[in-house]
Amino acid sequence: MDSVGRVRSVTIRDVARAAQVSPATVSRVMNRQSTVDAELVRRVQQAAASLGYHPSAVAQGLARGRTGLIAILVPDLGNPMFQSVLRGISRAAGAEGYRVLVSDSHEMPLEEPLLARETRLRTDGLVLCAPRAHDDELAALAERLNPFVLVNRHVAGLDVPTVSVDYAAGMRAVVAHLAGLGHRHVAYLAGPMASVSNRQRLDSLHESVQGRLELSVRECGSMQQDGYDAAGGALEDGATAIIGYNDLVALGALARLQAAGVEVPERVSVVGFDDIPFARYANPMLTTVAVPQEELGREAWERLSAVLRGEDPPADVCFTPRLEVRSTTGVVRTDTL
């Protein structure tokens, strides 16, 4: 204990004194360097065991030039989409002896660069999942973040492994589906303004509806409450179909419609994006665009792992999502037109 009665941690200097060696020798033993005499190794190990000394895993990693940790930075861990990507990374990295540190920017783009730098200092590599920071900021940070991988984002001119999804193709499939059911007016509940995937979906939506559907766009967000709050405005616009930025938004809109006594899909159809587990268990089951979430994580790790081994990463990959037609979309009733 120290002078005020607190239990003091055993240090490397305590072990060195007990073993009658230098702290540097203790460090070499703990880091399993082969240049230490066998008798000194025995003395150090014996002293460490008697004192209950346990070396810091982080310190050992730094001494060896690696930590055995990688990090993933997400905009909102409350979104099951990012949880699934994390699961894919964790399982793949764990199979190779790596652990994953998670950082959440809470949908605050200005915080992302600082979080990315701080997290990267403590790990061997970084996965930026759907980062909200501007392209110029990411490009300026690249040298300080390497090695890192981008998920759900592509930055022109930035030579970094990338795993992405063709959200435009997904939105085209949604529009074709709704048009085929007779819908003529759809509302899009938009995601966070800084979200690149939101811009991609909205751009594709504008292109896809031309000459086919009337489009209303409502500012929304990324969570269920956002969708719940925005659904009323979509009804006021006269839309017969609501497209949510993601499944959470769509599920929130669905809850608002049900609370208001609006029949789904008889009066209004609802479509989501991502195909999170909740989507197929909703009542009615949510029509959505399915994204291979865990596979995104596995592919991100495959590229980061290759770079960590000093190898060239596999080529960038872009997944084409598929439309999962379930119970929240249906033919437009003539009395709603």
**Tens-place pLDDT, residues 118-162:** 999 999 999 999 999 999 999 999 999 999 999 999 898 899 999
Query: Does a structural domain hold residue 1?
Result: no
Alpha-carbon distance 139 to 129, whole Å?
A: 15
207-233: average pLDDT? 97
Query: Does a structural domain hold residue 38?
Result: yes
58 pLDDT higher than 80 = no
Check residue 22 and give its pLDDT.
84
Alpha-carbon distance 331 to 78, whole Å?
A: 33
Alpha-carbon distance 101 to 122, whole Å?
A: 9
289 pLDDT higher than 90 = yes
Query: Does a structural domain hold residue 160?
Result: yes
As a whole-number percent, the residues of the chain with pLDDT over 90 amount to 76
62 pLDDT higher than 60 = no
71 pLDDT higher than 60 = yes
Same-domain pairing of 209 and 189: yes
Closest CA to 224 of 250, 243, 247, 252: 252
216 pLDDT higher than 90 = yes
pLDDT, tens digit, 9 for 90 and up, residues 167-197: 999 999 999 999 999 999 999 999 999 999 9
Handedness of CA 238, 241, 245, 248 (dihedral sign): positive
pLDDT, tens digit, 9 for 90 and up, residues 105-119: 999 999 999 999 999
Same-domain pairing of 309 and 330: no
Domain CATH number, residue 148:
3.40.50.2300
Query: Does a structural domain hold residue 4?
Result: no
Domain end (from 64, 81, 104): 64
Residue 77 DSSP label? T
Check residue 55 and give its pLDDT.
66
Check residue 255 and give its pLDDT.
98
Query: Tokens 């994390």, residue?
Result: 86
Check residue 10 and give its pLDDT.
78
Query: Tokens 């990338």, residue?
Result: 162
Query: Does a structural domain hold residue 6?
Result: no
Return the half-sphere exposure (C-beta side, CA atoms, 13 A cut-off) of residue 37.
4
Closest CA to 189 of 133, 130, 251, 134: 251
b/e per residue 295-333 (b: at least 16 CB within 10 A): ebbbbbbbbbbbbbeeeebeeebebebebbebbbbbebe
Q: Which domain holds residue 146?
A: 69-165+293-319
2 pLDDT higher than 50 = no
Same-domain pairing of 101 and 244: no
335 pLDDT higher than 80 = no
Check residue 21 and give its pLDDT.
86
When divided into structural domains, the chain yields a total of 3
Same-domain pairing of 305 and 161: yes
Alpha-carbon distance 178 to 240, whole Å?
A: 10
Check residue 39 and give its pLDDT.
84
Q: Establish whether the linkage from the previous residue to 192 is cis, with ω within 30° of 0.
A: no
Tell me which of 275 and 44 has the higher pLDDT.
275
13 pLDDT higher than 90 = no
Check residue 1 and give its pLDDT.
46
pTM of the model: 0.81
Q: Which residues contact 324 (CB under 8 A, 6 or more apart)?
A: 275, 279, 280, 287, 288, 289, 290
Same-domain pairing of 199 and 330: yes
Average pLDDT taken over every residue of the chain: 91
Handedness of CA 284, 289, 290, 293 (dihedral sign): negative
- Cα–Cα distances (Å) from 253 to 126, 222, 302, 317, in that order, read 35, 12, 37, 32
311-322: average pLDDT? 96
Same-domain pairing of 238 and 265: yes
Report the SS3 class of residue 48: helix
